Amino acid sequence: MEKPVSIAIETSCRCGGVALGASGELIECVAFEADRRHAVQLVGRLNELLNRHGLRAADLEEVYISIGPGSFTGLRVGITVARTLGQVVEKIRCAAVPTVEAVAENAASAGLKGHLGVVMDAKDSIYAAVFMANGERAVPECPPGLISVEDFLAHAPRPITLLGEGLGYHQISGQDVTVADERFWLPTAEGVWRVGRRMAAAGQFCKFNDLLPLYLRKPEAVRLWEQREVRR
């Protein structure tokens, strides 16, 4: 198999996945329904994928990991697996892939061109980013950030097509605003691999112990502990 041998890990949402690539070619993607069983599913599917192609963890040279925002449990599991690989396989290099960019990769599959908005849920607001899709890839036009639905609609370019799991929680509509088919709302391991491969080609690696999940809010256990401390 051509080098570098790479894997991509997506565990930021209920539909997880792993992908295997060699050099600039995507070899195989495996998707799985994770819900709260990311750890069992991820490790099992990753082992199966490597075994199917006669590979071991020691053969891997690059790992691309979806860092969020997304599921607390899922992100922790995916990043823990990536960090473990970085510890035990000395040559592995890691790329931290923003999940919004992985979602934007769905534009090519959906045949979308023009302005693209990726919307993720942030409870009372949204976490959004704007891209320009050219039919092959989506190029970021502005950095992602927290914003209200009203402000997003007021400042987003038009016409614009929206996708992302946040559309299931927020009603976003307006003139020249189109919502993509729900099949393209969630990130995939293939999308993570394609973004990660571009990052790798640009030398955008990080140390395995610098891999951290992007959380939009603190875990519930932390919030409850802080509330209890305030009452004391």
Q: Check pLDDT > 70 for residue 230.
A: no
Residue 66, C-beta contacts closer than 8 angstroms, at least 6 positions apart: 8, 9, 10, 11, 12, 75, 78, 97, 99, 102, 187, 192
Name the β-bridge partners of 33: 15
Tally of helices (H runs) and strands (E runs) in the chain: 7, 10
Chain mean pLDDT for the chain: 92
The per-residue pLDDT for range 184-210, each reduced to its tens digit, is 999 999 999 999 999 999 999 999 999
Name the β-bridge partners of 8: 19, 64
CA distance 193 to 56: 19
CB atoms within 10 A of CB 62: 22
CATH class of the domain comprising 5-99+188-228: alpha beta
Q: Give the pLDDT of residue 224.
A: 55
Given pLDDT bands bounded at 50, 70 and 90, which one contains residue 14?
confident
Q: Where are the domains of the chain?
A: 5-99+188-228, 107-184
Q: Give the pLDDT of residue 218.
A: 60
Domain 107-184, what architecture?
2-Layer Sandwich (3.30)
The per-residue pLDDT for range 116-146, each reduced to its tens digit, is 999 999 999 999 999 999 989 999 998 999 9
Percent of residues, the chain, with pLDDT higher than 90: 83
Q: Give the pLDDT of residue 40.
A: 79
Please tell me if the domain spanning 5-99+188-228 has the same topology as the one spanning 107-184: yes
pTM of the predicted model as reported, rounded to 2 decimal places: 0.93
